[in-house]
Amino acid sequence: MSLKLYLLRHGETTFSMSRGFCGVLDVDLTDSGYAMAQAFADEYKALTWEAVYCSPMKRTQATATPIAKATGMELIIRDGLKEADYGQWEGKSKDEVRREFEADNYHWMTEPAWNPPTGGETAVEVRNRAMAVIAEIEEKYTAGNVLIVSHRTTLRIVLCSLLGIDLGRYRDRLDYPAASLSVVKFGKYGPLLERMGDRAYMPPELREREDI
């Protein structure tokens, strides 16, 4: 049996609906976000889990709590799984950022691996802290299913790092709708992406909500 990472993005928030910048802002889920979290727990509670790792943010813990309760697992909280810090862009819309931080926004859009939001984190910095958690998991669990509940940008950066995708292209190559699931299997030839952005477990009224 191989190690499998189940990479779950948190459920819907008001910021995920508006596509505003929300990294270190500790927002809660919407009612639909809570329903997404419960739908995930209902679908995956029968799976045997080795561990549930989670970002410390309110929205990720709210997403992870139903599956933890259903399975009797304790949440393992790791700061390395937090969302990217958007610095002075936090709480602003994309249009506001384009107007107020034109030069920084241009550099970030062109090459986010090394150019941060104003006062925020680069993709390289996010990768370094998040992949330290992945390394911890790989060392501790050689087989079985491990759930990681994190954030849109952080999870895309993790997938780029695991799959050998240019880090500067994480926005261009991978999408990650709210409460969607990706699965990576660690096999003989390294990480293998088995599923990407899966929301099939949700009822249609949640699955069809816009992203979000």
Strand 75-77, strand 49-54: pairing:
parallel
pLDDT at 19: 83
What residues contact residue 13 under an 8 Å CB cut-off, 6+ apart?
A: 22, 27, 28, 29, 30, 33, 59, 178
In one letter, which amino acid is 16?
S
Q: Which domain holds residue 34?
A: 3-207
Q: What does the pLDDT look like over 184-205, one tens digit per residue?
A: 999 889 999 999 999 999 999 9
Position 61 in a domain = yes
Q: How high is the pLDDT of residue 165?
A: 96
User: Could you tell me the sign of the dihedral formed by the alpha carbons of 119, 120, 124, 130, in that order?
Assistant: positive
Tell me the per-residue pLDDT of 21-31, one tens digit each, with 9 for 90 and over: 999 999 999 99
Q: Is residue 212 part of a domain?
A: no
CB neighbour list of residue 78: distance below 8 Å, 6 or more residues apart: 53, 54, 55, 56, 133, 136
Helix (H, G, I), strand (E, B) or coil at 9: strand
Structural domains counted in the chain: 1
58 assigned to some structural domain = yes
Other beta carbons within 10 Å of 125: 16
CB neighbours of residue 93 within 10 Å: 14
What is the structure's pLDDT at 113? 95
Please state, in angstroms and rounded to a whole number, the distance separating the CA atoms of residues 176 and 90. Answer: 20
pLDDT of residue 211: 58
What pLDDT, on a 0 to 100 scale, did the predictor assign at position 86? 98
Dihedral (C-alpha) 176, 187, 141, 68: value to the nearest 10 degrees?
40
* pLDDT surpassing 80 at residue 212: no
Structural domain includes residue 39: yes
* E strands, 91-159, in order: 144-150
Q: pTM for this one?
A: 0.96
pLDDT tens sequence across 140-188? 999 999 999 999 999 999 999 999 999 999 999 999 999 999 999 998 8
Instruction: Give 208's pLDDT tier (boundaries 50, 70, 90).
Output: confident
- Tell me the per-residue pLDDT of 20-72, one tens digit each, with 9 for 90 and over: 899 999 999 999 999 999 999 999 999 999 999 999 999 999 999 999 999 99
**Residue 210 banded pLDDT, cuts 50, 70, 90:** low
**89-120 pLDDT tens trace:** 999 999 999 999 999 999 999 999 999 999 99
Looking up residue 196, the CATH number of its domain turns out to be: 3.40.50.1240
Residue 167 located in a structural domain: yes
Question: 3 - beta bridge partners?
Answer: 144, 186
